Structure 1
């Protein structure tokens, strides 16, 4: 059964590519994405599971919860309100339920099948990145380069080669921002509805990221073309209130309390010292204040590991990605200048995610390996600005019409 699920994910990927692009573009994308999919399975079998580079990570914890949940379902029947496992889900219910369902279908541990699902999500994210780049203003060549870079980015590849939650988080964050920019281009009631569903899913992966994405999403609706401002504002306000009410209803602790609790835990001196005591930990002279030494923390959040940093084999391999990231940061600055001249509204939407997220993570940074994973969505959204800089054509309002059969009609 495990191999059948792997085969099903491959077929799903082929179908997803074929319905997302015209025939010519699909044939160009498919080999790249199939290779990206296959490489993730190879890395899973040859690197992550044998612990060949000493990376570690929390994927085994998620797998343990999923195994416990699947065993509960096998005893009591399929349900989404399990007793003991539910108490351990915290804010990672979505990936754990997905893995548990795969394990339930396979009748036991199925790490390869779970990894295939994660690899499918990673490839779907690459498709969204291509389309997002086109919406932002990148030309077809630059968007394709961005797709390839995203698909084979070492850290993103590693963190989507087992039962990590980072692939889920990145897909949902980028998807929300893509819909925000797409809505700003042309209003469609389906886009805010899709955004709400993605925000709900994101709440069950990394709750505080909901607030990082909600403001850009709201701005996208308020600044949308093709609909009266008042209508867009009323619709977005109603959907936002409904969404917050639902979140508050399902979470007796309240929305703000839950998100702020996660942020305060990450900012606490105890948590930061605990993370700093691990392999690639780093301490700052901030007198226990999370907001102290903010400039050095920002530099570590964006630029670590530095070329001279010592550490594990994974950290050394990460330096290869950092060389690419430094170039992309340089290109992103050029992309900001282009969008400032041609589309400040889209630039503002992107910056409303990049800047607050970077500052928030800087107040919690204490481990280079951990921040390397956490900033994956920031890297991806910033790389969209790089794609704009790589383009030979300047942004225009018509760049979303990139395929004969788009994912979301604008």
Structure 2
């Protein structure tokens, strides 16, 4: 609200030397809303809810496109819509809701590109990524690398088109990475160690000083439902059980080959890269829990074909046969 007041010509305290790091996509968006509509947090909360709805829509369509199954799309969208921490980020005044939407847009565009490669989709995808630069640097850098990798792995591309599109994607990736406004400042792995240890200082759930394999265990499974320290620790238990099922489901979908591994590349690379960053840089469970929410929707989407298949397996045989006959009629086979 202070920036909006300054833009209106009013006097408001703002120290650029100490508060300048706060400026970014979400703050600019908030400022624009407060400038146009007035300093009411309700407007921002409504915007967060709208962005949450858009995230659900993109999750539905991404799951549907990847699997070719409408039921997988419905399951993926529904799980993203009801996942507790995602609802929380959409309801609160946090930059996470903006970041989640940007990630979903980029990954959806990559899935669309893989199914129907078009040259213009390459720059459009990078344009969608640009606002993430001031939100989470590791997400921005990671997706800047995922985009050209996806282009390289896209099936059904002729040699000439693949060369042209790959060159464009690599060139734009290099341009974004060399001109980003929020460089990490990391010069070596020792800087990551320092960052991780700093995040664990004073935290009740510090794991930054643990061996690598223990940190992997924390990143994948914490907070642990089987070791609550207080009553409040029981609140995320249902969510964590769903997370475990989604992790297992996503892994099975990726390795069993029910969906082309090339089509899974955008989501799989993003998820694996983000989790690797968490292992290297996260130092306490609280911060990890919030940051891991950036990959949760896409793990749910990746697992949705398996969940759909499981529901279909439990369906009555008569219903399955009726669905098959109806599909055959629609295709004109009978």
- Give the TM-score, by structure 2 length: 0.81
Matched, 1:295 2:200: no
Matched, 1:68 2:5: no
* Contact 2:44-2:93 within 8 A present in 1 as well: yes
What residue in structure 2 maps to residue 106 of structure 1? Answer: 37
Choose from 255, 262, 282 the match for 2:206: 282
What CA distance in whole angstroms lies between the structure 1 residues aligned with 2:294 and 2:158? 32
Unaligned residue ranges in structure 2 (runs of 5+): 313-334
**Partners in 1 of 2:173 and 2:248 — Cα distance?**
38
- What residue in structure 1 maps to residue 168 of structure 2? 238
- Match in the other structure for 1:357: 274
| 2:195 and 2:281 in contact (8 A); partners too | no
| 1:44-193 alignment, distance < 5 Å | 67-75=1-9, 84-85=15-16, 88-90=19-21, 93-108=24-39, 110-137=40-67, 139-193=69-123
Conserved 8 A contact 1:118-1:162 = yes
Over 3 Å counting, the alpha-carbon distance change for 1:248 and 1:123 in structure 2 is same
Distance 1:319 1:221, change over 3 A: same
Count of aligned residue pairs for this structure pair: 309
Pair 1:229–1:193, CA change in 2 (3 A) = same
Stretch moving more, 140-149 or 83-92: 83-92
Which is bigger in relative contact order (C-alpha 8 A, separation at least 6)? 1
Q: Displacement of 1:381 after TM fit? A: 1.7
- Distance in 2 (CA, whole Å) between partners of 1:313 and 1:266 is 36
The CA deviation at 1:331 is 1.9
Runs of at least 5 residues in structure 1 that lack an aligned partner in the other structure: 1-66, 77-82, 287-292, 394-410
- Distance in 1, Cα, partners of 2:97 & 2:17: 22
Distance 1:369 1:274, change over 3 A: closer
Match status 1:368 vs 2:285: yes
Instruction: Pick the structure with greater CA Rg.
Output: 2
TM-score for the superposition, normalised by structure 1 = 0.67
Q: Would the alpha carbon gap of residues 266 and 116 (structure 1) be closer, same or farther in structure 2, given more than 3 Å must change?
A: farther
CA RMSD, aligned part only?
3.0
SS state of the match for residue 159, structure 1? helix
Match of 1:328 among 220, 238, 246: 246
1:129 is displaced (CA, Å) by 0.3
Q: Which moved more, 1:83-92 or 1:302-311?
A: 83-92
Deviation track 1:344-379 (CA, whole Å, cap 9, x = no partner) reads 212333322222211111112222121111111322
